[in-house]
C-alpha cells in the first residue's frame, strides 16, 4: 500500500479487533454494555493516518527528523515500537504470498526488513531528498551491498585516491576477485574522473569531505560526467550528513552512510543507510537479501532516537569544530589544519557552494612526528583515543595507526597522510572546555 511517494507500508497485524467494554456496578455485578467487532484493518488505519499526516519534503530537517515517519507508525506510541522478532505470521496463504513477494516488505522476515526500521528509512530518505532508503548492519555493509548489486565481472569503477580505509580495502583487495577493476584518481580534479572512464565503466564513487584530510569533491561536476556517459554515481555522505550536504540535489544518483556516525550520533550502534530513487534501490535491496547485512529492530530504534536530534547535534558539531580549527590554525605547534570551513582551505569556495555547514570533523598536523602526536593525544583529558566519529564524545586518532592494517607507508604518502597527522571528531562538549583541553595538551609536548 502506497503511503508516500516511493514508500510502502506493510500490513502488520490481523485485520480484526474486538473491543468489549464492561461497567462494574456497586453490587459487584458485571453488566455488559457493548460488544463491538471492529472490522478495521491495519492497512485501512494507516491509510487514514497517512491522509492526514503525509510527509512534507519542504519542512526543515529538524521537523522531518521528528515527523517524517508519522505515516508508518501503526501505534499511538510517540516512540516507535521495537519489533524484536525474526519473523512474522500470515493469516492466509494469499497473505503469505504477498508478504514473500512484495519488495521492501518489512513484516515478513527480519532479513527483508523490520517495521521499526521503516521509521528510520523514511526519515533518512526525506533528509536526503530521495524516494526511498534501506538500512544495513553497517556502513561497509551498505557499500558492499551496492558494489555487489551494480557491478559484475568485467566491470570498471572510477574512485578517489583518498577514501575511508574500509572503502579502499574493499576496492583494492576484494573487488578484483570478482573481476572488477578500479582506477583511482585525484578527487579535486574533475578532468581526472573524465579521463579515467572506460567503455566498461559502470560506477563512479566519491566521498566528500574525505577521511581524513577533508578534501572536497565537486559533486555537480561528477554528476554531470556520470550522466554524460550513462554511469551511476555514488557518494559517501557520512562526514557531512544530510544536514550539511545533499549530494542528490547536485545530481548524484545514490547516497550512502555509515549511520553509526552522525545519523546515530551516540556511539551505541552499528548501521548503514542507502538512499536513492526506487528503480535503483530495488535491485540493491534484493542483493541485500543475499548479503544478509540486515539491521535489527533494536538498533533501528536507536537510529531513530539519534535522527530525532540530528540537526541540533550537527549544528553544534559544526560550530565547535570551526572554533577549534581557528584556534589550531594560529597555534605555533600546529603545522597545518584541514577543515573546509576555514578560508585558508584551498577548496573553501567549493565547499561553500555545496555545503551549508562543514562537519564536526577536522584533521591537523602536529609540528613533529608520530611520537609528538601520541604525546599530545596522551595529554588530552576530554578527548578519547578511539575509532569512529560523529557522536556526542570527542574522539581522536592517528590515521596512520588506525589504517596501518589496510594501507602501507607508501599508501599514506600517496594520500597525503603525514606521520604527525591526527583526526579529531568534535563532540558535544562545551566549546571553551574543549579548546582549553586541546591547548593544555599542546603545551605539554
Domain 96-308 has CATH 3.40.640.10: yes
Residue 404 has a pLDDT of 60
Q: Which candidate, 172, 191, 169, places its Cα nearest to that of 180?
A: 172
Residues of the chain with CATH 3.40.640.10: 96-308
Tell me the C-alpha distance between 133 and 120, whole Å: 9
Residue 5 has a pLDDT of 41
Residues of the chain with CATH 3.90.1150.10: 311-443
The backbone torsions φ and ψ at residue 172, rounded to the nearest 5 degrees and listed phi first, read -85, -35
How many beta carbons lie within 10 A of that of residue 43, not counting itself? 16
Tell me the C-alpha distance between 317 and 132, whole Å: 27
Residue 363 has a pLDDT of 97
Residue 101 has a pLDDT of 96
For the annotated catalytic residues, the residue numbers are 111, 164, 236, 261
Q: Which three cell numbers stand for residue 326?
A: 581557528
Q: What is the pTM of this model?
A: 0.87
| CATH topology (fold) of 311-443 | 3.90.1150
Task: Enumerate residue ranges in the chain where pLDDT < 70.
Answer: 1-55, 403-409, 411-416
Side-chain-side CA neighbours of 60 within 13 Å: the count stands at: 7
Q: Which helix (H) or strand (E) is 201 found in, with range?
A: strand 201-207
Residue 417 has a pLDDT of 74
Amino acid at each position: 500500500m502506497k503511503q508516500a511517494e516511493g514508500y510502502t507500508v506493510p500490513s502488520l497485524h490481523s485485520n480484526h479487533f474486538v473491543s468489549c467494554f464492561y461497567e462494574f456496578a456497586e453490587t459487584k455485578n458485571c453488566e455488559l454494555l457493548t460488544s463491538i467487532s471492529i472490522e478495521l484493518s491495519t492497512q485501512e488505519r494507516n491509510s487514514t493516518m497517512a491522509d492526514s499526516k503525509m510527509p512534507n519534503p519542504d519542512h526543515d530537517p529538524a521537523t522531518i527528523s521528528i515527523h517524517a515517519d508519522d505515516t508508518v507508525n501503526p501505534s499511538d506510541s510517540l516512540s516507535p515500537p521495537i519489533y524484536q522478532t525474526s519473523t512474522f505470521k500470515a493469516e492466509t496463504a494469499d497473505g503469505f504470498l504477498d508478504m514473500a513477494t512484495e519488495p521492501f516488505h518489512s513484516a515478513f522476515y527480519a532479513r527483508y526488513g523490520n517495521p521499526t526500521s521503516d521509521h528510520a528509512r523514511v526519515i533518512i530518505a526525506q533528509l536526503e531528498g530521495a524516494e526511498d532508503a534501506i538500512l544495513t548492519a553497517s556502513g561497509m555493509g551498505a557499500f558492499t551491498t551496492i558494489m555487489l548489486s551494480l557491478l559484475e565481472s568485467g566491470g570498471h569503477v572510477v574512485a578517489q585516491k583518498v577514501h575511508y580505509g574500509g572503502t579502499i580495502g574493499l576496492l583494492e583487495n576484494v573487488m578484483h576477485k570478482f573481476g572488477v577493476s578500479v582506477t583511482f584518481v585525484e578527487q579535486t580534479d574533475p578532468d581526472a574522473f573524465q579521463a579515467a572512464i572506460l567503455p566498461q565503466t559502470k560506477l563512479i564513487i566519491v566521498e566528500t569531505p574525505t577521511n581524513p584530510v577533508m578534501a572536497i569533491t565537486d559533486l555537480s561536476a561528477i554528476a554531470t560526467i556520470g550522466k554524460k556517459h550513462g554511469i551511476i554515481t555514488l557518494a559517501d555522505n557520512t562526514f557531512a550528513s544530510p544536514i550539511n550536504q545533499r549530494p542528490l540535489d547536485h545530481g548524484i544518483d545514490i547516497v550512502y552512510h555509515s549511520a553509526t556516525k552522525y545519523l546515530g550520533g551516540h556511539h551505541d550502534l552499528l548501521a548503514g543507510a542507502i538512499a536513492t530513487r526506487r528503480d535503483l534501490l530495488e535491485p540493491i535491496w534484493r542483493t541485500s537479501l543475499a548479503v544478509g547485512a540486515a539491521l535489527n529492530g533494536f538498533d533501528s530504534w536507536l537510529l531513530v532516537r539519534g535522527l530525532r536530534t540530528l540537526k541540533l547535534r550537527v549544528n553544534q558539531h559544526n560550530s565547535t569544530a570551526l572554533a577549534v580549527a581557528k584556534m589550531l590554525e594560529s597555534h605555533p605547534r600546529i603545522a597545518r589544519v584541514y577543515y573546509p570551513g576555514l578560508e585558508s582551505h584551498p577548496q573553501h569556495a567549493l565547499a561553500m557552494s555545496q555545503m551549508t555547514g562543514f562537519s564536526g570533523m577536522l584533521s591537523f598536523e602536529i609540528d613533529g612526528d608520530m611520537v609528538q602526536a601520541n604525546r599530545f593525544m596522551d595529554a588530552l583529558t576530554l578527548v578519547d583515543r578511539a575509532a569512529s566519529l560523529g557522536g556526542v564524545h570527542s574522539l581522536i586518532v592517528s590515521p596512520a595507526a588506525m589504517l596501518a592494517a589496510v594501507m602501507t607507508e607508501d599508501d599514506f604518502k600517496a594520500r597525503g597522510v603525514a606521520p604527525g597527522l591526527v583526526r579529531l571528531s568534535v563532540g558535544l562538549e562545551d566549546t571553551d572546555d574543549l579548546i582549553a583541553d586541546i591547548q593544555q595538551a599542546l603545551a605539554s609536548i
